[in-house]
Chains A and B, each alone.
Chain A
Amino acid sequence: MTVLAETLRRCRAEGRAALVGYLPACFPDFEQGVANLRALVDGGVDVVEIGLPYSDPVLDGPVIARASDVALRAGSSIAHVLRTLEAVASTGVAALIMTYWNPVERYRVDRFAAAVADAGGSGLITPDLLPDEAEAWLAASDAYHLDRVFLVAPSSTDERIALTTRFCRGFVYAASVMGVTGVREQASTQAPALVARVRRYTDLPVGVGLGVGTAEQAAEVAQYADAVIVGSAFVRRVFEASADAPAAVRALAGELAAGVRGAPVGR
């Protein structure tokens, strides 16, 4: 069992949703990127998602796309991302890499899986890889005992949900809205129905992401999901922090962690 699976099981035993926090590696550079990701952990995030900066992030809104651009300009490489993963996983937290597919294929799927396992990572989230095209990744993730998180969306048919959840391991990533990453004012009205549909096909934990950015939204999503996934809100904090970005990240993680625990919020 991966650290991720253990973590999600523990949260479930505590009767609460897990908090998953995302930041790209090397954002704004390698050292500060590691510091920001560790600040997620210090602030109370249960699972860390490390973004692998990519030149063509079609599922990302302007905030994360700009962060990827900053990271690439700072010289982000797969080697840097793997070192970042190692630095984060060494804290004992469950850590995954979120990556578009081409860098993995270019690195070679088997070699990438071995490197992730070696760095102490739990697995990959693959937003543009469908199980239909994932033969090499299914084999490699089995060989290296890694979790594989595929996405479902409000537009997914029941057939697609059945197929996708069959190949997921760790958790199922439910995209709460039709769209790209980025904080929305309103919590999704489609997400609860999607999560309910997913549960008809799997006992795996279901994480909800896209559009969640505040403690109130986190608390709301935590009522029906097993994991609350927050990305753009953290990235925005880093962009906005004039001096101490890790402190800003830590503060938001703390608010969101309280949110998923159902604590009274911001009154």
Chain B
Amino acid sequence: MNGVRPSLPDAAGHFGPFGGRFVPEALVAALDELAVAHAAAMGDPGFHRELRTLLTSYAGRPTPITEAKRFAEHAGGARIFLKREDLTHTGSHKINNVLGQALLTVRMGKKRVIAETGAGQHGVATATAAALFGLDCTIYMGEEDTRRQALNVARMRLLGADVVAVDAGSRTLKDAINEAFRDWVTTVEYTHYLFGTVAGPHPFPAVVRDFQKIIGEEARGQILDAVGRLPDAVVACVGGGSNAIGIFTAFLDDPTVRLFGFEAGGDGVETGRHAATLSAGSRGVLHGARTYVLQDADGQTLPSHSISAGLDYPGVGPEHAWLKETGRVSYQPVTDAEAMDAFRLLARTEGILAALESAHALAGALRIGRELGPGGVVLVSLSGRGDKDVQTAASWFGLTGER
């Protein structure tokens, strides 16, 4: 850091009033162990070498940036660049974090990993790393999500993972996380919880950020090469917020770069059927951290809604809560319909099927591009590819069955 911004989180995992640890005491020892392993790894050139080799030779990094010229014709004359996390092995940015944490798992001497997954991208990435490192693997997934992301369930099983369909509560990502925590508190001695996003108790928000910030580090250099200056705006979708933190971190200290996080607006924030936690939620504690939460007056978590399983989450990473409160990042909702329009536009103008999560960022990029006008430069985190979403999209656009 250059002294402008204090290094966050603090030693106990706080980003201002957010973050920290709200967990059963039984997990404290494991979280401490992880924090120590993480700190040691970050200071160990050997770890960085090993991870870099995996990221280049296995995951396909660095990912390119692609200028989306035909797509940008709909964005008020601004230039739009896509950071192509969809081109990584397993098809999303999730692999970055998973490979890092898998190395930590081995260093901690644990033989088993568990993970939650919403869209299935983190589950697939975790199952992949577990196969690569010879670890036992159990993935928790809401029953509702196993239905709408059936392709990813099959992928995880092919990779040798056990997939547990969670039929509690809303049967989505939130409930998968609850079930993973229940497993972890029972098996923590030999199991690492390979958490997939920048939420959860300390040190997960810092661990996941440190493994995802490569997105922004690469993209910053690439956009400088491409246009000779920093972008005017960097945009990403935000569910838990790992791809967003990944691309934002490299730009946090650049005052001329505006940062935008796009949340799942579902049917529209005014309908109550959405997952726009930062736009419409309030301060609370969920899944081990103080952050923003969709909750009722009694502090009960409200069900979220999004066409995108990966954004369908009533919480968000604590660093995002802090970036909202400090005003550094602007968070806005994007509805299902806006995201699906952007999804189709990108497919037809650029030949890229984006993940429905990433489609929210694309819709946001159109919005910000129109605001910036000609000459503006927008960098978009295209966090994943849309193969898993073909069925949902086909049914949305009425492309299935009888004509």
Residues of A within 8 A of B (CB): 54-59, 61, 65, 69, 72, 77-78, 101-107, 127-130, 132-133, 150-157, 160, 164, 175, 178-180
Residue of A nearest to B20 (CB): A133
A175 to B25, CA, bound (A): 9
- Which one of A56, A77, A160, A175 contacts B29 once the chains associate, using CB atoms below 8 Å? A160
Query: Which residues from chain A contact B26 at a C-beta distance below 8 Å?
Result: 151, 153-156, 175, 178-179
CA distance A150 to B297 in the complex (A): 25
Contact A58 B293 (CB under 8 A): no
Q: Is B47 an interface residue (CB 8 A)?
A: no
Q: Do A178 and B29 form a contact, CB below 8 Å, given A105-B285, A130-B22, A132-B21?
A: no
Closest residue of chain A to B28 (Cβ to Cβ) is A160
Closest-by-CB residue of B relative to A164 is B25
Q: Which of chain B's residues has its CB closest to A157's CB?
A: B29
Q: Are B25 and A150 in contact (CB under 8 A)?
A: yes
Name B residues whose Cβ lies closer than 8 Å to a Cβ of A.
12, 20-30, 168-169, 174, 178, 181-182, 185-189, 284-288, 290, 293, 295, 297-301
Closest 10 pairs between A and B when the two form their complex, measured CB to CB: A106-B299, A153-B26, A103-B299, A179-B186, A102-B285, A155-B29, A58-B181, A55-B301, A102-B299, A55-B300
- Complex: chain A residue closest to B300, CB-CB: A55
Cβ–Cβ contact B185 & A130, under 8 A: no
Contact B174 A106 (CB under 8 A): no
CA A10 to CA B159, docked complex, whole Å: 59
- Residues of A close to B24: CB separation below 8 A: 58-59, 127-128, 151, 153, 175
Contacts A56-B178, A179-B186 given; indicate if A72 touches B300 (C-beta within 8 A). yes
The verdict on A61 contacting B23 (CB below 8 Å), with A103-B299, A106-B295, A155-B30 known, is: no
Contacts of A164 in B (CB 8 A): 25
Residues on A with C-beta less than 8 A from B28 are: 130, 155-156, 160
Residues on the B chain within 8 Å of A107, using CB:
298-299
Do B298 and A180 touch (CB < 8 A)?
Answer: no
Known: A102-B299, A180-B182. A130 touches B21 (CB 8 A): yes
Report yes or no: A69 in contact with B22, Cβ–Cβ below 8 A.
no
Least Cβ distance of A160 to chain B in Å?
Answer: 6
What are the residues of chain A within 8 A of B187 when measuring CB–CB?
178
| CA distance in complex: A179, B189 (Å) | 11
**Contact yes or no, B287 A155, CB < 8 A:** no
**Among B12, B185, B301, residue most surrounded by chain A Cβ atoms (within 10 Å):** B185
Question: Which partner residue on chain B sits nearest A54 by CB separation?
Answer: B300
Give chain B nearest CB distance to A9 CB in angstroms: 25
A-B contact sample (8 more), CB < 8 A, given A65-B168, A102-B284, A132-B12? A102-B286, A102-B295, A106-B297, A106-B299, A127-B24, A154-B26, A156-B29, A178-B26
A128-B24, A157-B29 known; A102+B293 contact, CB < 8 A: yes
Whether A78 contacts B298 by the Cβ 8 Å rule is yes
A29 to B251 Cα, complex, angstroms: 52
Quick one: which of A77, A106, A128 contacts B23, CB cutoff 8 A? Answer: A128
Contact A178 B185 (CB under 8 A): yes
Q: Contact partner of B185 among A54, A59, A77, A133, CB < 8 A? A: A59
Q: Which residues of A contact B288 (CB under 8 A)?
A: 128
Residues on A with C-beta less than 8 A from B174 are 56
Q: Which residues of A contact B293 (CB under 8 A)?
A: 102
CB distance from A79 to the nearest CB of B (A): 8
Per the bound structure, the CA–CA distance linking A72 and B298 in Å amounts to 11
Q: How far is the CB of A234 from chain B (nearest CB, A)?
A: 20
The minimal Cβ–Cβ distance linking A155 to chain B, given in whole angstroms, is: 4
The distance from the CB of B109 to the nearest CB of chain A, in whole angstroms, is: 16
- Please state if B297 and A58 are interface contacts (CB–CB under 8 Å): no
Contact B22 A133 (CB under 8 A): yes
Q: List residues of chain B with CB within 8 A of the CB of A153.
A: 24-26
Complex alpha-carbon distance, A196 and B298, angstroms: 38
The reply to whether A58 and B12 form a contact with Cβ atoms under 8 Å apart is no
When distances are taken between beta carbons in the complex, the residues of chain A under 8 Å from B284 are: 102, 105-106
Selected from B25, B30, B186, B287, the residue in CB contact (under 8 A) with A56 is B287
- Which A residues lie within 8 Å of B297 (CB)? 106
- Nearest residue, chain A, Cβ from B189: A178
A sample of 19 cross-chain residue pairs with beta-carbon separation below 8 angstroms, ordered by A number, consists of A54-B300, A55-B301, A56-B301, A58-B181, A59-B24, A65-B168, A78-B298, A101-B22, A102-B295, A104-B299, A105-B290, A128-B23, A129-B22, A133-B21, A155-B29, A160-B25, A160-B29, A178-B188, A179-B26
User: Min CB distance, B168 to chain A, in Å?
Assistant: 6
